[in-house]
Amino acid sequence: DIQMTQSPSTLSASVGDRVTITCRASQSVSSWVAWYQQKAGKAPKLLIYKASNLERGVPSRFSGSGSGTEFTLTINNLQPEDFATYYCQQYGDFFLTFGGGTKVQI
Amino acid sequence: QVQLQESGPGLVTPSETLSLTCSVSGDSMRSYYWAWIRQPPGKGLEWIGYIYPTGSTIYNPSLMSRVDMSMDTSKNQFSLKLTSVTAADTATYFCARGPTMVAKFWGYWGQGTLITVSS
């Protein structure tokens, strides 16, 4: 299986900050990575697909980059509604895997 | 607007079989991948498996021996069966759909249903 190692597991930030979350794949997944946001008690919400493509309706302060084994999710000008947990997911293999999650907190 | 809704028993006895159904409205089932994903309380997401439009399936290797997924397009539903459950299978179970015909990432999700395994 392809492992997705996400860091940090917890991130403390303030409104207006720029935050970066990293996912490292145990082997190349090309650009087949998606990012999700999950708030407490809710289903995850798709933010980014194919490493850098913004899902419709997602604010432009979210961006993704990377290829191969290293991927990043960046949130510019952090807003109060962005405090949540973020997950990466690889789909470069038949068997899908998620990262362990990053909680963005105040 | 595509909507997914999980339904299930809420409580399952250890060693028994967990059965869940996802009801789909707002679109045809024939053109997308459909998945089950779970999340133990306070933990991260775990992919369980997905089913192709043809009805063929791919399962998480760690669960493969206990999982069975099926699809009933006439009812706009797909289902999950997980056998020989233990407390470790206690989780919120989500059904999900890819946003496009070839996507194995998940743009539409059900609200999730909490399944507790306990005697």
Average pLDDT over residues A53-75: 97
Render pLDDT for B58-104 as a digit per residue (tens, 0 to 9): 999 999 999 999 999 889 999 999 999 999 999 999 999 988 887 89
Eight-class DSSP state of B22: E
Task: Establish if B110 touches chain A: CB-CB under 8 angstroms.
Answer: yes
CB contact under 8 A, A95 and B111: no
Q: Residue B117 has what pLDDT? A: 97
Buried b (16+ CB within 10 A) or exposed e, B36-73: bbbbeeeeebbbbbbbeeeeebbbbeebeebbebebee
**Separation CA B85–CA B70 (nearest Å):** 19
The verdict on B50 touching A (C-beta cutoff 8 Å) is yes
What percent of chain B stands above pLDDT 90?
Answer: 82
pLDDT in tens, A52-63: 999 999 999 999
Chain B contacts in chain A segment 53-92 (CB below 8 A): 55, 87, 89, 91
Contact A38, A89 (CB under 8 A): no
pLDDT mean over A60-79: 98
Q: How far apart are the first and last CA of chain A?
A: 34
For the cut 80, the answer to whether the pLDDT of residue B39 exceeds it is yes
Range B25-37 average pLDDT:
89
User: What is the least distance, in Å, from the CA of B13 to any CA of chain A?
Assistant: 24
Q: How far is CA A18 from CA A37, A62, A84, B9, B25, in A?
A: 16, 10, 15, 43, 38
Instruction: Give the pair of three-digit tokens for residue B36.
Output: 């089950």
Query: Residue A78 above 90 pLDDT?
Result: yes
- The pLDDT of residue B27 is 85
Q: What mean pLDDT value characterizes chain A? A: 97
Contacts of B42 (CB under 8 A, 6+ apart): none
